[in-house]
Structure 1
């Protein structure tokens, strides 16, 4: 007999995981400068071990929950939403984890509030304690985010008056709102696509990547995906124009969501002739353009966000095109070639061409359902773009979860999610050998505890009485 698994046990195990995450993050997270502990200190060591102990517990709870969802009596979407709320609760007041991007968001909001052009200057132009919290690599970098997110960040800055604890809590609440919108949209999109709503919630909302990076990391991808999800729900229903507006607002948070407009046209004209495609294309384009003009005018930040889409990426980014660019550049440099400086831009351009080719193949030749096609398209943008982060995987995963045609697709995506959940340190800093060893130790300790629990739960074989 195997380990006894039910919804309540999965809920308790996942809660233990996020509780350890929150506790470990108090000394090993992306802490403010005045709370920063040296990586070798006892508190930081215990915190790092504790965080990875919690991550592995959370992954285990999620995997076991997947078995319950696929079982003979799967939980209802409502009960899964309760599990999501329970798992997320300990992270609400935890320090930022796995990235320092939330400090950049707060600094950019303060810059807008101070009438500093965020598309021309980096946070260093703001100065002061808030700007000092931004990672050094982004101090001189203009923001790549759209006017809708900057308005949200600016309003939060004004409400919190630059106070860091209140700002961090505010950004996390905004991210939680985005996750709530994602969770609300997933069952509806799944039903429309002929998929299981419970399975969609399990893969797309209870995914460890959502909890680690959208909730604990407070990334603005949560708002982008939330608006995109509810926009698609509206577009396939009775409010197509509202759907276009919401998806355009999502794109004015982060640009990749603009691909959702293609899905709107496909949803509205599916099974109809070329005239319907043309009519819906014109309607969608007009509504999107009007929303863009109105939102940009209301934000008062101008159209600098268009040029900011070319904002440089981290020089140590591990996207396939960046990696190939660095390797090629180093090889050319060793050969004494003057072409070495052009290697990275050339590979980035090649990545854009590959992405464009994949998008054409998906929409014109493969022709899956619109929601699934959008998920595949966003996955291609994330993989072949100039920058890759673990939370970028959620762009495509969110919609693949809602519309994946087979269980094998979900299994592969789930396996990739579990691996990606283990790839970033809680401080958001680059890893060294010592930190990797500590992180692995925390994960192994969690596996030992899980194995011991498994052994303890197994029924004991009855002792046979010896016969004379």
Structure 2
């Protein structure tokens, strides 16, 4: 990305990424997903400066990550320990900064407070709770029941208790610590998965843990996908290590955070079948997996007391302006049908979403048939990527569902290259406030990114650049 043919110094990548991370957080202090009482008018001078600064830092961070990837693929790749130090360095500023790139953390806290108040989160939205936390939830989700499982809601209730006893920032910190626990599990079990799947651990860490999407959305945004992926990875490692009962329980817990993790159960069943003897091994493994998963679900649901309403809440309405592939095609088709006067425009979005679900089902069947050749972990990663790409809703961090497992299990080739190329594009796709961009905000964001690109050119590419690559300086 920086046009350097010489060896790359991982230490310089670390410092460049740290500068980017600090700039993102500093910009987020005025342009982030702030509490309503602290939010500024987007057109105000401070908010505009914050947006420019956040995108300036975002481009620096993406450049540092991409440059570090060159080092990972180079003749002297950094060790996993060096990469973990880099991850900690880049993540540290984001731990104490404001929520960034999404307001979902406020929804999590409101739903946790509803659990504490014994309000059925699967029947009512945060509007039923009222009060300061409900005020922070975006209007589109005020009347929407929670689609999350009892494991996550029990943890969110603890964080909501911090918000109630102290203040909303304390609750945000609690949610961020939960997300950080998930990231720690992701990192620990990513290394184990990579070794078991024959993938270089450094390459897996670069793509799956140091990825800007992890930093921006799982840490800065405090999304519950971190805990889901951490538990899913733990379950897959247990399955590969010959502990199928523990594996099923862990994957079931992941699904009780967020439903997409349930796709990991067939992968565990395949691995369990390899340890059985006799006929119909896969059928017996599937039955055993189902039994352990149902028992885990029953125990956890009874312990948390939230009930089974999350099953019905899985069809939570999708935002009408969601920018998933099927939703986008549906809106475009609907506009064309309306322009033609057919009267069928309103049916276009539902039709495209049903087609997307059907295509996803076909893709999952094809991957299931190729599971032995691909390996269950890699096949699961591709399946989760299909769910993300073809589902009715898409957010940048959803890509991590499949990307994380692709990083752990995919051989060198097209899948890894596409995942690496898509990550910076998705990282740049959302404003620090999590809101849709208007013309002014888009101009400010582009200005901040362009300024960062100019600085990078001056540092690395201009004649007599102030920072020369390590090998070049030695000549």
* TM class by smaller structure: over 0.9
1:267 aligns with 2:264: no
> How many aligned positions are there?
460
C-alpha distance in structure 2 between counterparts of 1:306 and 1:337, whole Å: 37
The separation in 2 between residues aligned to 1:304 and 1:80, in whole angstroms, is: 42
How far does residue 336 in structure 1 lie from its aligned partner after superposition? 4.1
Match of 2:104 in 1: 101
Tell me how far apart the structure 2 counterparts of residues 323 and 3 of structure 1 sit (CA, whole Å): 42
Which of 192, 196, 208 is residue 204 of structure 1 equivalent to? 208
- Distance in 2 between the 1:18 and 1:203 partners? 18
Q: Do structure 1's residue 83 and structure 2's residue 86 form an aligned pair?
A: yes
Are 1:456 and 2:459 counterparts?
no
Q: Cα distance, 1:158 vs. partner? A: 2.5
Cα-to-partner distance string for 1:231-265 (whole Å, 9 max, x where unaligned): 11111114221111111011011100001011111
Structure 1 residue 341 displacement after superposition:
2.9
Which whole-Å deviations, capped at 9, do the CAs of 1:42-73 have from their partners, x for residues lacking one?
Answer: 11111001101111111111111111111222
Q: Which residue of 2 aligns with 1:424?
A: 430
Counterpart of 1:347 (choices 352, 376, 396) is: 352
Please, which runs of 5 or more residues in structure 1 have no aligned partner? 462-468
Deviations 1:399-437 (A, max 9, x none): 000011124432221111011110000000110111111
**1:38 counterpart = 2:32:** no
- Go from structure 1 to structure 2 and tell me whether the alpha carbon gap of 1:37 and 1:329 turns closer, same or farther (over 3 Å shift): same
SS in 1 for 2:148: coil
The more displaced of 410-419 and 17-26 is 410-419
Match of 2:228 among 224, 227, 234: 224
Report the counterpart of residue 387 of structure 1 in structure 2.
393
Q: Give the corresponding residue for 2:380.
A: 374
Q: Is 1:138–2:141 an aligned residue pair?
A: yes
Partner of 1:286: 291
Query: 1:236-385 maps to which residues of 2 (within 5 A)?
Result: 236-270=240-274, 275-365=280-370, 367-385=373-391
Match of 1:73 in 2: 76
Q: Which residue of 2 aligns with 1:213?
A: 217
**2:7–2:74: 8 Å Cα contact kept in structure 1?**
no
Q: Once the 2 structures are TM-superposed, how far is the Cα of residue 3 of structure 1 from its aligned partner?
A: 6.4
* 1:83 counterpart SS class: helix
CA deviations 1:330-379 (Å, max 9, x no partner) are 33334444543332222211111100000000111464111000000000
Cα distance in 2 between the residues matched to 1:401 and 1:273: 34
Partners of 1:113 and 1:140 in 2: CA distance: 18
CA distance in 1, matches of 2:273, 2:408: 20
Q: CA deviation at 1:269?
A: 2.6
Match of 1:49 in 2: 52
Give the Cα–Cα distance (whole angstroms) in 2 for the partners of residues 260 and 302 of structure 1: 23
Deviations 1:139-184 (A, max 9, x none): 1111111111111111222344262010000111111111111000
Whether the 8 Å CA contact 2:149–2:257 is kept in 1: the answer is yes
* Per-residue deviation, 1:123: 0.6
- Aligned 8 A contact 2:239 2:247 in 1: yes
CA distance in 2, matches of 1:411, 1:386: 25
- Aligned residue number for residue 465 of structure 1: none
- Counterpart residue number, 2:61: 58
Partner-residue secondary structure (3-state), 2:55 = helix
C-alpha contact (below 8 Å) 2:56/2:449 kept by paired residues = yes
Instruction: Indicate if the aligned counterparts of 2:235 and 2:251 stay in contact, CA closer than 8 A.
Output: yes
Question: Which structure 2 residue ranges, 5 or more long, are not aligned?
Answer: none
The TM-score with structure 2 as length reference comes to 0.94
* Cα separation, 2, equivalents of 1:348 and 1:458: 50
